[in-house]
Amino acid sequence: MRLRQLGAMNLSVSPIGIGLAALGRPGYINLGHADDLERIYDVAAMEARAHRVLDAAYQGGVRYFDAARSYGRGEAFLGSWLASRGLAPGDVTVGSKWGYVYTADWQVTAELHEVKEHSLEVLQRQWGESQALLGAHLDLYQIHSATLESGVLTNTAVLDELARLKSTGVAIGLTVSGPRQAAVIEQALETRIDGEPLFACVQATWNLLERSAGVAMARAHAAGMGVIVKEVLANGCLTERNAAPDFADKMAALHAEAARLETTIDGLALAGVLAQPWASVVLSGAARIEHLVSNLQALDVAWDAEADAKLAHLAESAEAYWSRRSDLRWN
């Protein structure tokens, strides 16, 4: 994969990156997650699985790795992989996130899997924890799922602390979620400390079903921010796995275009995101090597105007998308 610069930062990334949301903890919302992990939750076994998938990603040319404090042992697995493979800071680009606290205690089912708290106390504590696990490898530190409601973008104590971290050389970013991603991105674009833009990178959900943040992501890119795209397979809904009867018509359209472009459903869905000129990195969330390899084939798909036209009707309202996502079962 040809590397590119992440926004205006001196960080090089691959067009496809990998995220550890499904690799770092027993429970997650992706369709079929329990099957993916073969219901083997022994810590050493899950670490070995994560390392095998990370090896396959590295061999496939992936050079951006995305973790978070709330992904259970995701940062620890990534840290031990970097060390055991002899990778030095700068050999790959590493991003992580603060603001969600993992509360599932290594269980698949839990009353609460993660608790969001965008406070100064959590930032300082989690920065220390991320540093201990990733050290000098940690290039990008992102607010996890910033929303207008969390108030983090008007919390001056937090913003000042982020500016202090930025002055130590780590790039500062944010991830957004929910039906109002675009409004949060717009507010982030206006967020300055001492006249300087604070945020160098935004991570947002964009896929063939949820396109509402596209204009704001393009504005962020034009303003020199890095743009990382997450949930590009809609947590598995844009894969062969989605047998939901009310999705059958859309699945038929996906199949027809995948056949025409000689690819798979996930390859097609990923290619549709790679085709967005403002996408710096498109994240694979694969927890199985064969899924990762299938995802990487999206690089060879010749997405075109016909695919754009034939699949435009898949787009749904942000409210509908996020309401269905919130019904996805942790498994």
Ligand X SMILES: NC(=O)c1ccc[n+]([C@@H]2O[C@H](COP(=O)([O-])OP(=O)(O)OC[C@H]3O[C@@H](n4cnc5c(N)ncnc54)[C@H](OP(=O)(O)O)[C@@H]3O)[C@@H](O)[C@H]2O)c1
Q: Among 57, 82, 287, 301, which residue interacts with ligand X (rule: CB under 6 A)?
A: 287
**Distance (Å, whole) CA 269 – CA 266:** 5
CA dihedral 185, 186, 190, 192 (to 10 degrees): -10
Does the footprint of ligand X cover residue 4 (CB under 6 A)?
A: no
Q: What is the DSSP letter of 7?
A: T
Does the footprint of ligand X cover residue 324 (CB under 6 A)?
A: no
Q: How far is the CB of 144 from ligand X (least distance, A)?
A: 5
CB 23 within 8 A of CB 77: yes
Q: How far is the CB of 195 from ligand X (least distance, A)?
A: 28
Does the footprint of ligand X cover residue 233 (CB under 6 A)?
A: yes
Which of 18-26, 40-48, 108-116, 310-318 is the region at the interface with ligand X (rule: CB under 6 A)? 18-26
Residues that bind ligand X (rule: CB under 6 A) add up to a total of 36
Does the footprint of ligand X cover residue 285 (CB under 6 A)?
A: yes
Instruction: Give residues 20-79 in contact with ligand X (rule: CB under 6 A).
Output: 20-22, 30-33, 36, 66
Does the footprint of ligand X cover residue 291 (CB under 6 A)?
A: yes
Phi, psi of 33 (to 5 degrees): -60, -40
Nearer to ligand X, 30 or 212 (CB): 30
Does the footprint of ligand X cover residue 241 (CB under 6 A)?
A: yes
**Distance (Å, whole) CA 229 – CA 217:** 9
Site mask, ligand X, residues 202-221, x = CB under 6 A?
A: -x------------------
Q: Is the dihedral of CA 214, 287, 58, 143 positive or negative?
A: positive
Residue type, 135: G
**Distance (Å, whole) CA 105 – CA 39:** 16
Q: How far is the CB of 107 from ligand X (least distance, A)?
A: 19
**Rg (the chain; Cα; Å):** 19
List of residues 6+ apart from 133 with CB closer than 8 A:
75, 76, 78, 79
Tokens matching residue 6: 């992440």
CB 97 within 8 A of CB 122: no
Instruction: Give residues 144-173 in contact with ligand X (rule: CB under 6 A).
Output: 144-145
Q: Among 138, 251, 286, 296, which residue interacts with ligand X (rule: CB under 6 A)?
A: 286
Instruction: Say how many residues make up the chain.
Output: 331
Which of 14-22, 75-83, 113-121, 179-187 is the region at the interface with ligand X (rule: CB under 6 A)? 14-22
Q: Among 14, 70, 239, 331, which residue interacts with ligand X (rule: CB under 6 A)?
A: 239
Site mask, ligand X, residues 79-118, x = CB under 6 A?
A: ------------------x---------------------
**Distance (Å, whole) CA 16 – CA 220:** 19
How many C-beta atoms lie closer than 10 Å to residue 312's C-beta? 11
Residues found near ligand X in the complex (CB under 6 A): 19-22, 30-33, 36, 66, 97, 144-145, 175, 177, 203, 230-236, 239-241, 264, 266, 283, 285-288, 291, 294-295
